[in-house]
Amino acid sequence: MTSVVCPYCFDRSAAARLPFRCQMSATGVRGGKPCTAELDDTWAEFMGPSVPPALKMRGPVFTAPRGLAGRLVSGGGTRADCPHCGVSTPVRVCLRCHSDFPSDYTDQDTRIIALLGPKASGKSTYVSVLINELRNRVGRAYGASITAMGGETQRRDREMAEDLYDRLRLPEATRPAALGFNDPLLYRLSLPLRRRLRGDGSRHTALVFFDAAGEDLGSAEAMDRYTHYLAAADGIILLVDPLQMRAVRDQLPVDADLPLPTVETPPQQIAADLAAQLRAHGRGTTRGRVTTPVAVAVTKTDSLFSLVGPHSPLRRNADHAGGAVDDEDRLAVHEEMRGLLDGWDSGALFRQLDRDFAQLSLFGLSALGSPPPAHAPADAPKSGPQPLRVEDPLLWLLGLGGLLPRSGTGGGAGRRTEAAAGGAEGLRHGSGGEA
């Protein structure tokens, strides 16, 4: 039976058990009278007191008759007839929080990607650039397409692209949980599916990006707000801002004209709190390591070019030849970043991550390709974003889940052999001393 993870409260339910919401169509079929809005206490309680009273009035929620949990319709998806007005509706809602799911969300596989990082680490900018690369350069290499799902994500996706690529303005910081609920970003990723006996086809996956505000990662108590989200994640991308590390600042050239952010919560503390939260919710192994794969991405690598050689893999994008994730290229980046971390904190961050997580890989990326103007830190560079390796962490996670083919797997890296399909515990290629 297909199960669905709610992208809002992260409750998991069988798809067949999900209720429907009447759309209150003006063309009622039973007497011609449409349904009227009702107070949805479940949804209002989940959203909190910031929701205006008028918005709490929504279409009635109903359960399809037993044995008729929705009928398949042309083009995919399911529908059910409202028992009050008789009008057919495709809108499914979460059992726990009554949030509406986007069209066809419940009819496909789902990958929840948690995005964590301290304040000013560039999470919002990273997501905006990542989606643009998946639509263009990276999407072309893998034969993939990605589209926003649902009205809220479509609106935010459009605004992020216009701000960053048209107006050259960096996205605003994610608001803390104390100021209101942050909707996730929902995307439909379509990948080619080639099988000998079935011919060419497509595989569709819902990608859920949930961005935690940096202020909410300052302590274990604050991070607890994201407990359900973290426990449901299929993979975590942890962004580390090197310019918030004093050792990095000391190594930069004295004439480097870089806008330096305020030093926030140390990445080692965020990693420790993250592991503790996941262990507390059943994501630990018998050896004490958390099973959720973690991609640790050092951002703003364009500011580190004075610290790496001219042939460093951090200076170029992966070519994605053949539409496969290149593990040898990833290992080269992993070792480069591990060497840099050793010089910054004597390897303390990596050692802690290596002890806490069963599947781990280090990445280095730059969402903009060059720093914002020193006199206008809220602006993108005049040349616009020229990203480096922003896609690498996500592609690795999708490869672990069996959604993307991988090349160069193995090569003597790691303690155990990584499983090709998702869900199986395997080693992180390139972690530990044997990488």
Report pLDDT digits (tens) over 245-264. Answer: 888 888 887 666 676 767 77
Q: Which residues of the chain have pLDDT under 50?
A: 72-76, 176-180, 196-197, 411-435
- DSSP letter at 347 equals T
Report pLDDT digits (tens) over 364-406. Answer: 999 999 988 877 777 888 889 999 999 999 999 999 988 999 9
How much is the pLDDT for 422? 34
Q: Single out the residue of 206, 207, 212 nearest to residue 228, CA to CA.
A: 212
How much is the pLDDT for 40? 96
What gap in Å lies between CA 15 and CA 73, rounded to an integer? 16
Residue type, 418: E
How much is the pLDDT for 194? 63
Work out the angle at residue 164's Cα, subtended by the Cα atoms of residues 158 and 166, and round it to the nearest 5 degrees: 80
Query: What class is the 108-407 domain?
Result: alpha beta
How much is the pLDDT for 269? 86
Domain range annotation of the chain: 3-106, 108-407
How much is the pLDDT for 47? 86
Residue type, 307: L
How much is the pLDDT for 409? 60
**234 Cβ partners below 8 Å, 6+ apart?**
111, 112, 113, 292, 293, 397, 401, 422
How much is the pLDDT for 358? 93
What length does the chain have?
A: 435
Please state the pTM of the whole predicted model: 0.85
- Structure tokens that stand for 281 in this block: 């919710």
Q: Which residues pair with 295 in a beta bridge?
A: 237, 361
How much is the pLDDT for 215? 52
- Structure tokens that stand for 16 in this block: 């067949």
**339 Cβ partners below 8 Å, 6+ apart?**
none
* Cβ proximity of 370 and 302 under 8 Å: yes
